[in-house]
């Protein structure tokens, strides 16, 4: 057997088309955002127009297209596509609302409660002790934990910073002072049992979590009914997570965990454009 560098057959590169299931409003928003940014930094030239760059970045975020594939299909370098992606993610993340402003906006709209929940975004397993904290025993997987707030209809209004996968919902909520922000805005919140113990005010609770059953404490019929009603009220928060996870780049994050917060907040802005159109 001999090694040879000759090709058995003539080969060439092929470029295929893929439908991007996003609204024109989202593409135009991202393109306009880039145009304003280029004007601010006084950059008059890009190898591709802003609209085309916006399409490339959205394809990466929506379909998890590889940078090398997108670069080859558009006759640019992989480092250029990476720079465009990071640039637009940073611009979008800067538009994500702060917690206090998001809650005040909901209160001004006349709503009384929000929905809160935590979830895990899976990541690639990394070697070394530093990655052990990203292992979630609950999900039996490596990932990053974050909290999200939605309105009563399941529209995302805020996303927390990404934290190690082993982080408990209560720990993350206390770190973000969610209870205090809810009281300041005059809003209540519906949550699952993972937030049990976060609000210890029995007379005037802000966060409602339902009743917990144990081996020694069985639920009464009234408590079971209350839990079912709460579960129905909390259902839209899962719809909010579903809309967010339609961005396939979140299927299994390969980015640096330190940049995950910026990515999640950028996707929050894009999700809001798609859902609220």
Tens digit of pLDDT for each residue in 93-126?
999 999 999 999 999 988 889 999 999 988 876 6
| pLDDT the model gives residue 156 | 92
49: pLDDT strictly greater than 80: yes
* Paired sense of beta strands 141-150 and 135-136, if any: antiparallel
| pLDDT the model gives residue 211 | 82
Q: What's the whole-number average pLDDT of the chain?
A: 86
Q: What are phi and psi of 113, to 5 degrees?
A: -135, 160
32: pLDDT strictly greater than 60: yes
Residue with the larger pLDDT of the pair 139 and 28: 28
What the block records as the tokens of 178 is 């969610």
Taking every pair of Cα atoms in the chain, the longest distance, rounded to a whole number of angstroms, is 83
Instruction: For residue 275, give the nearest of 159, 157, 155 by alpha carbon.
Output: 155
Calculate the CA 63 to chain-centre distance.
15
- In contact, 121 and 146? CB cutoff 8 Å: yes
Give pLDDT tens digits for 179-238: 999 999 989 898 888 888 887 777 778 888 888 887 778 888 888 898 888 888 888 988
Give pLDDT tens digits for 128-173: 666 677 787 777 888 889 999 999 888 999 999 988 888 888 888 9
Whole-structure pTM value:
0.85
Whole-number Å distance between alpha carbons of 85 and 79? 10
Q: How deeply is 188 buried, as exposed, middle or buried, from its count of CB atoms within 10 A (0-12, 13-18, 19+)?
A: middle
In eight-state DSSP terms, residue 130 is G
Calculate the CA 117 to chain-centre distance.
12
- In contact, 135 and 111? CB cutoff 8 Å: no
Whole-number Å distance between alpha carbons of 257 and 57? 19
């Amino acid at each position: 057997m001999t090694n040879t560098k000759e090709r058995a057959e003539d080969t060439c590169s092929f470029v295929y088309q893929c439908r991007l299931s996003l609204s024109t409003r989202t593409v135009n928003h991202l393109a306009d955002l880039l145009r304003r940014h280029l004007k601010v930094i006084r950059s008059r030239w890009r190898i591709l127009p802003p609209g085309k760059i916006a399409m490339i970045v959205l394809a990466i975020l929506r379909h998890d297209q590889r940078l090398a594939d997108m670069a080859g299909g558009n006759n640019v370098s992989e480092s250029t596509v990476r720079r465009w992606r990071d640039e637009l993610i940073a611009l979008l993340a800067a538009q994500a609302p702060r917690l206090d402003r998001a809650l005040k906006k909901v209160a001004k709209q006349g709503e009384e409660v929000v929905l809160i929940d935590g979830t895990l975004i899976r990541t690639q397993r990394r070697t070394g002790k530093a990655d052990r904290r990203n292992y979630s025993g609950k999900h039996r997987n490596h990932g990053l934990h974050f909290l999200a707030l939605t309105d009563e209809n399941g529209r995302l209004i805020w996303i927390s910073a990404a934290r190690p996968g082993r982080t408990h919902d209560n720990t993350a909520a206390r770190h973000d002072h969610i209870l205090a922000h809810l009281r300041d805005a005059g809003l209540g919140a519906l949550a699952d049992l993972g937030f049990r113990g976060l609000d210890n005010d029995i007379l005037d609770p802000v966060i409602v979590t339902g009743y917990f059953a144990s081996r020694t404490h069985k639920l009464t019929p009234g408590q079971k009914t209350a839990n079912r009603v709460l579960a129905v009220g909390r259902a839209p928060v899962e719809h909010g997570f579903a809309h967010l996870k339609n961005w396939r780049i979140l299927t299994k994050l390969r980015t640096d965990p330190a940049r995950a917060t910026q990515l999640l907040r950028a996707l929050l802005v894009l999700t809001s454009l798609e859902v609220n159109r």
